[in-house]
Structure 1
Amino acid sequence: MTNTLTAAKPAADDRVATKSTLAKLLGRPEIGALVGAVALFAFFAVVAPVFLQPSSFATVLYGASTIGIMAVGVSLLMIGGEFDLSTGVAVISSALAASLFSWYFTTNVWVGVIVALLVSLSIGFINGWILIKTKLPSFIVTLATFLMLTGLNLGLTRLIGGSVSTPSIARMDGFDSARAVFASSVGIFGVDVKITVFFWIGLVAVASWILLRTKVGNWIFAVGGDANAARAVGVPVVRTKIGLFMGVGLCGWLLGMHNLFAFDTVQSGEGVGNEFLYIIAAVIGGCLLTGGYGSAVGGAIGAFIFGMANKGIVYAEWNPDWFKFFLGLMLLLATIVNVAVKKRAESK
């Protein structure tokens, strides 16, 4: 009996088992989107050689950045288990707030910029607060916000400016400096790259750091996976969810300021439908609709895919009427691939 016990080996502990490199790679939320992005880039490089020209690629990056800026905030929100259907019109609300406040009160436009920031953060806070207090699905809460903002955008613009678009603020104090910050271009090897591209990259870097290197990132994944379990272990669920909605508001403010100072007027009816583009970018990038899974890098890749598809179709001289079909197909395939990759990674 003694010899038998001595010779017995302890059973392997699954808790300390190491994953293979392939399993770790497949476990990354953005891997499916990355493969798709590489394939799409190669495809358009072949069918539309102009796609590879530096100026054309800078245009692709600009188009991707205008989706990607919002996709960063939306990705984090979806990882936290929530949606925001008001993002498209909230971007326009921010631009309208800055423009109309500056014009009506004849102030320096930077005052309007600060007012717009407060408005955007307030919209995010209100969405999160109502969600927590009512326990309604974020789909319902933000759909209501979407409808109210759509009406407010149009109604207040008509009331204050007498038109569906804002008056031009191009000659007001501070406009030139604000345009330099929010809507300028940076020359790189003779190619003008819009400043939104750098905002986009910076936001992705900050969001990735938050998700992967801070306790706030752990909170975001926890509340998205199971809010009740997260609350039971001390995660501040209320603060985390409200903070995520306010983060979306911050991204909306940044994009709204770009829109305002790039064109100096704002159409109050714009933005409707853009919320789906931001969600599509996040989903293509690996964020699951069920929450608790995804990455900011994946959302960026999803936005890049959108930019390539949008401009690539033009460069290839195809009928742009097919773009929405192509976008829907990408969304469906990306969702299927993301779920399959996650299940495969978990099984290893």
Structure 2
Amino acid sequence: MSETEPHPSSRDAALSRRRLLRAGMSAAAALPFGFAASAGRAWGPGPGAPFDPGPLCAPAAATEAATGALRPIKLAWNATAICTAAAPVAKERGIFARHGLDVEFVNFGGSTEALLEAIATGKADAGIGMALRWLKPMEQGFDVKITAGLHGGCLRLLAAKAANITDIASLKGKTIAISDQASPAKNFFGLLLSDAGVDPEREVEWRQYPADLLNLAVEKGEAQALADADPRTWIWLKDPRLTEVATNLTGIYATRSCCVVAVRGSLVRNDRAVAGALTRAVLEGGHRVQTDPADAAAIFANYGGKGSVEDLAAMLRSQTHQHRPVGADLKREIALYGDELKRVNVLRKTTDTAKFAERVYADVLS
């Protein structure tokens, strides 16, 4: 042995230390993002952080998946709403199965209130829908828990160029076409009107039409503007006679989630591991929507989504699928929406929105 060659025992010790270091680094890489900072949180988004939907240990549902047993789950969604694309992506790309779930979709096209009722009454186990539609029924006691935010941006307010509506304030005295009087679009743009000093109940008229005919109401002059969701509004914006006045990413709402994941209350209480696995899977689906919107658009199109794959992908890129709040971040957003909905007389003035957010949110990820 040369004088410069390390002794075998020293070499073995060094190798052992390197193996231990590598093992420690691998274990650290396996930890979900945010675990070191908050041991009670299985996953949390952060600026520039890589997405890691997995918990420290595989949930019970995922353990069952390894043995071939998948847990049947019914997920309610609106198959006409492009913003719910995380669900079919999670199904078609095997994400649900990897989380131990055999997911059956229950379609409630056009009515998120009916979708929420289906979850509350046990016809579905969970669903994806709009917070601004669900918070009022949840205030009234629906046994449904919000477990994650999914993205922001899918509502648009369009106006006839001929009406010279250049901003929210210039809607004063105008008629806005909507699909129904409790729609998320009405609730949200009512908030913007209030912020702009326009009374959304007395100084504008909300006129109801069938959802697919809102643009015709503006074209005929029966309304000067319309408020609805993608994909309709994105497609209507191609009409050179229409202009976009605002979206639900306007101003302070740019960092808010509009669509949320909600789970049947009894499932959260009785099978929290499954509720957590479902929430993680949908969040992972949302991450794939963000990173590959073209693939998500192609999948959604196969489920009957309106518009070309190119249009659908452009819609997804315009939305904030990187914004998927959970925990304290999501509870803060719920409380803010609650305060704002009180201001436009959707929620009761007496509702304590901090307590309300605490009650309707369930942490199933820690």
TM-score band, normalised by shorter chain: under 0.3
Greater fraction strand: 2
TM-score normalised according to structure 1 size: 0.24
Greater fraction helix: 1
TM-score normalised according to structure 2 size: 0.24
